[in-house]
């Protein structure tokens, strides 16, 4: 019995169990009649899908958030987004620090597993960054949105404040839920709405270790850690590269950017690029985009945001590290280097494992959905990557996937939020330690 409990209490299993408990609790609350506008209990599949989407900060929805759920239901969704984006273990550890002024070793290890910090000594620092950055960015975003809703759209102060807070939480946690049926399409011409939301998504997707590093030496990029350099550099490259690609492919599409003035086309392209990083809100109709734009979005959604952030995907550091491995192999170099630093072989194996497991998960999810739904590959692939990358963008087929399709997406969102490696470690029965090594021999490659 002690061995069983010891296995359950490993950090990876605790993180998975905590997320599962919160998802089930949220689904139970959303299934209550008080959470639904009609006054009738929501189906368990719908409630579970929505709760998973909120906790896993995805934003895919089988029901329109604004019209299907009551104020109580929307509040449950907002709380679930905040818990999921902040991190369940991080939240528990912060509460422990507030109450007792310290955090135990077990809680430290659990939080380290969830936030993917480099060592136990960094956990306290990361937690401080989590709390400060979350409150600061969400408060600033909510304030700007509230003022805009009051002055630009005549909303009463109370309603404007609620809308501002809800969308500030939704954007910074990269959750992608909106209080309008068309998401942000009605605001496509309003930079005072689109820019704060996009910047909030980018801020949430950088990752809290980056903020801790920037706080120490933001004026001296030469002193940044390798992780910070890669995250900031790749975020900028993918954000502006995605903006250029999306804007170019959709420039003359009358159903998306074609009907906008040139400046607003660039704004809409920037907004979509930012949202593919895991944001999930949309200011143009994604279902009317060209197929090559969907493919661009697939790549951006699969890569995702920064490690230990509110965003999903395989993470920009994993993507960059694989690039460094390829570059070293092409050059015939014995070591993989990045920024005049040698990358440990263990990290190379982790990056390769994450990438291949993610590809396999997306492929399997796509295969299953194509078996049970009538939709074509391009739309199904977009939906699967959006779910796995916890993005929340959709080509408009989410509500028509059926019960089996919704359950498949629910599993993909859960796996995508926790990560294939974390989930795999949690499911492993034990870790084997060998006291010997086999003779070396390699097969032909390529």
Q: What is the pLDDT of residue 235?
A: 94
- What local confidence, expressed as pLDDT, does residue 180 receive? 94
In a domain, 439, yes or no: no
CB 415 within 8 A of CB 361: yes
**Rounded average pLDDT per 10-residue block, the chain, 446 residues:** 47 77 94 92 92 92 91 95 74 44 49 50 62 88 97 95 96 93 94 96 85 76 84 94 97 95 96 93 95 96 85 89 92 87 86 90 96 94 95 93 94 86 56 72 74
Angle between helices 226-250 and 291-303 (to 10 degrees): 170
Q: Is residue 435 part of a domain?
A: no
Q: Is position 321 within any domain?
A: yes
Smallest Cα–Cα separation from 132: which of 102, 70, 90, 89?
A: 90
Stated as kind and residue range, the H or E segment containing 382 is helix 377-388
pLDDT of residue 424: 57
Residue 254 covered by a domain: yes
Domain enclosing residue 126, as ranges: 2-426
Distance CA 88, CA 155 (A): 34
Give Cα 328 distance to the centre of its chain: 30
DSSP 221: G
> What pLDDT is recorded for position 421?
60
Q: Print the SS3 string covering the chain.
A: CHHHHHHHCCHHHHHHHHHHHHHHHHHHHHCCHHHECCCCCCCHHHHHHHHHHHHCCCCCCCCCHHHHECHHHHHHHHHHHHHHHHCHHHHHHHHHHHHHCCCCHHHHHHHHHHHCCCCHHHHHHHHHHHHHHHHHHHHHHHHHHHHHHHHHHCCCHHHHHHHHHHHHHHHHCCCCCCCCCCCCHHHCCCHHHHHHHHHHHHHHHHCHHHHHHHHHHCCCHHHCCHHHHHHHHHHHHHHHHHHHHHHHHHCCCCCCCCCCCHHHHHHHHHHHHHHHHHHCCCCCCHHHCCHHHHHHHHHHHHHCCCCCCCCCCCCHHHHHHHHHHHHHHHHCCCCCEECCEECCHHHHHHHHHHHHHHHHHHHHHHHHHHHHCCCCHHHHHHHHHHHHCCCCCCCCCHHHCHHHHHHHHHHHHHHHHHCHHHHHHHHCCCCCCCCCCCCCCCCCCC
Residues 6 or more apart in contact with residue 445 via CB below 8 angstroms: none
Please indicate, yes or no, if residue 25 is contained in any of the structural domains: yes
**What is the number of structural domains in the chain?**
1
Contacts of 285 (CB under 8 A, 6+ apart): 185, 255, 256
> Rounded distance, CA 120 to CA 107, Å?
10
Alpha carbons 369 and 379: distance in angstroms, whole number: 10
pLDDT at 1: 37
The reported pLDDT for the residue numbered 158 is 95
444 part of a folded domain:
no
Dist CA 147 CA 192 (whole Å)? 10
Backbone angles phi, psi at 308, to 5 degrees: 60, 35
Is 86 inside a domain boundary?
A: yes
Predicted pLDDT at 108: 52
Residue 431 lies in a domain: no
In Å, how far are 72, 251, 429 from 395, measured between CA atoms? 28, 19, 39
């Amino acid at each position: 019995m002690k061995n069983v409990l010891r296995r359950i209490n490993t950090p990876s299993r605790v993180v998975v169990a905590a997320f599962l408990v919160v998802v089930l609790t949220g689904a139970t609350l959303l299934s209550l009649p008080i959470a639904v506008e009609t006054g009738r209990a929501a189906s368990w599949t719908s409630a579970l899908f929505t709760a998973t989407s909120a906790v896993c900060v995805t934003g895919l929805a089988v029901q329109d958030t604004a019209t299907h759920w009551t104020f109580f239901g929307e509040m449950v969704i907002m709380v679930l987004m905040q818990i999921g984006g902040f991190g369940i273990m991080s939240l528990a550890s912060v509460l422990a620090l507030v109450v007792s002024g310290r955090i135990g070793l077990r809680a430290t290890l659990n939080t380290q597993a969830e936030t993917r910090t480099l060592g136990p000594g960094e956990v306290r620092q990361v937690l401080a960054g989590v709390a400060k950055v979350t409150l600061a960015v969400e408060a600033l975003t909510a304030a700007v949105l509230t003022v805009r809703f009051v002055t630009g759209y005549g909303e009463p102060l109370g309603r404007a404040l609620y809308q501002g807070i809800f969308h500030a939480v939704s954007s910074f946690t990269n959750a992608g839920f909106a209080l309008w049926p068309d998401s942000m399409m009605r605001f496509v011409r309003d930079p005072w709405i689109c820019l704060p939301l996009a910047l909030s998504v980018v801020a949430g997707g950088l990752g809290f270790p980056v903020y801790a590093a920037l706080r120490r030496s933001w004026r001296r990029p030469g002193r940044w850690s390798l992780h910070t350099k890669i995250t900031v550099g790749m975020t900028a490259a993918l954000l502006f590269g995605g903006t250029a690609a999306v804007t170019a492919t959709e420039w003359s599409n009358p159903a998306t950017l074609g009907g906008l003035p040139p400046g607003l086309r660039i704004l809409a392209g920037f907004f979509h690029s930012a949202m593919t990083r895991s944001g999930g809100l949309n200011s143009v109709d994604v279902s009317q985009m060209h197929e090559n734009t969907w493919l661009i979005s697939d790549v951006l959604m699969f890569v995702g945001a920064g490690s230990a952030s509110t965003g999903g995907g395989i993470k920009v550091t994993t993507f960059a590290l694989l690039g460094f491995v390829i570059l070293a192999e092409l050059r015939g170099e014995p070591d993989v280097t990045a920024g005049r630093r040698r990358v440990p072989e263990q990290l190379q194996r982790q990056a390769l494992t994450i990438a291949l497991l993610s590809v396999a998960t997306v492929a399997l999810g796509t295969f299953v959905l194509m078996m049970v739904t009538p939709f074509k590959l391009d739309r199904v692939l977009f939906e699967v990557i959006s779910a796995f990358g916890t993005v929340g963008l959709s080509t408009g087929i989410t509500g028509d996937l059926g019960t089996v399709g919704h359950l498949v997406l629910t599993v993909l969102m859960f796996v995508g939020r926790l990560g294939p490696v974390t989930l795999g470690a949690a499911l492993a029965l034990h870790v084997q330690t060998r006291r010997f090594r086999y003779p070396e021999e390699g097969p032909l490659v390529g």
